[in-house]
Structure 1
Amino acid sequence: MKKEKYLISIVGPTAIGKTALSIKLANHFKTEIISADSRQFFKEMSIGTAAPTSSELSAARHHFIHHKSVKEDYNVGEFERDAIEKLNYLFKEHDVVIMVGGSGLYVDAVVNGLDDFPNIDPNIREFLNLQLETNGLEYLQNKLKELDPISYQNTTIDNPHRVIRALEVSIGTGKPYSSFLNQKKSNRNFNTISIGLDADRQTIYNRINLRVDKMVKEGLLEEVKALLPMRHLNALNTVGYKELFHYLNGECTLEFAVSEIKKNSRRFAKRQLTWFRKNKNILWFDFESDIKNIIKAIENQIEKV
């Protein structure tokens, strides 16, 4: 039997224009938006995560924007639970809901469900956290490369939380973390239509550089200063914040810190595209595509499903 509910998932690299497209689509389909951007969940991180502005938030109803504090632990499993609960509620009123975000793992959690991992001895994570403090992230990265080269290639290896998660499963089970991926898919009571925005590499990089300059002008440094006492929190170990923490600690100049934000954002965009291009179901569009063409493609997909 044909499903009657549709989740339109908008993906793509950072700074490509996903938020603007999501609002246009939400207005066209007279519906609401859920965010799958794991950095925009936190209310203390607005400028550095390019969260929707107040005018954008008022243009369409959003969910999962600034609903948590960086002081709270919030993981992808909890997000999957909350997002599915919210979708079930929204689908009572709407046949179409928009999801937008560049966090591939969080997008996949909603669309397909998370992979099923065995329980791991918590002492392993404690040991790995100690190794991180003692020997640094590079030591753990090399350990992951040794135990699970596939995860080393596909994991966001500058994120200690992700590296430690892959390592604790590999060590705790004696099997590579990657071997547990894509073992099962959750049944969803909706169809997903995935729309990807893209551009040539130089255009993406130029847009990222301009966005970072805009963030700095809008007060990114002041936002980061206010978070300095909490810099140890996992949510703040992210691009745009960690570089300015180094500056505020006197480890580099402001100019160098900003250049590092741009460099690390470009690397992040490259990893995002690598992740999303593995999904052959995404319909890709140039970031300057006419909205009418995107809507037509979506409506054609709805007719097919």
Structure 2
Amino acid sequence: MTARYSFGGDEHVFVEVDEEMSLEAFFKSLSITNAVKQAGIRGVTEICPANASFQIKFDPDVISPDDMLAELKSLEAAAEKAESRIQTRIIEVPVFYRDPWTTETLMRFRERHQDPNSTDIEYAARINGYATVDDFIKAHSGAPWFVSMVGFVAGLPFLYQMVERKRQIQVPKYLRPRTDTPKLTVGIGGCFGCIYSVRGAGGYQMFGITPMPIYDPKQEISYLRDFMVFFRPGDIVKWKPIDRAEYDDTVAAVAANRYMPKVREVTFDLDEFNKDIDGYNARLEGVLNGH
């Protein structure tokens, strides 16, 4: 699809790369936004990449909206030829599935849910064709997830499962959003996973909680002292199921500034990934585990 451009007032251009999310659409969006950064276009004040789109904020006193549009269209043509590989990180994120805090929360909001008689994870397992919740957890944590966008709430990553489309987990959002979601809840809405960086309202199905902070505006947590937001677009997440004891140990380690996320640098090649998705994912996991 040719990108679709639209103006947002006098200071924004919104660019829809594709109508549906795919890693190909994300890579094109990333290529164009990286090209905007490298081009140093006078008047650009903010670049905001998203799942299959991006938005550019600019100063119309420095560059006119039409000239900004022309610059972006020229960069789109170059992005079509961009390499399908990026230098990024693969990160292990521990998850305490079926934890007591999200369970207590979801039970308070059953009247807003499609199935008031089951938990979120039971509902997700059933509608995705898994016989048991354990089978669902294996599918959720078995393949890595790509961070396609960070935002909406400060530090919140949107995650796209790295499997064939027919195998992707999909779960609708609540019929009406909750007014409460525990901090660091792991969940899914549509085809996107997320980690709630802060406590607040939300509509995604809740499956568990991570003890690993991903946003610290005070920058007191050891691994967030350089920058308050942990994730960035292009990161790859591998969930690690943990039990209550490991959850409590990790929370204590974070509080004592002894915890360090498991992170490895990696080159991700989209063409190679598409040739053998499961094999490529296994190699990524091997890098994470030092194999």
TM over 0.5: no
- The structure richer in strand per residue is 2
Taking structure 2 as the reference length, the TM-score comes to 0.25
Q: Which one scores higher on RCO, CA 8 angstroms, separation ≥ 6?
A: 1
Report the TM-score when normalising by structure 1: 0.24
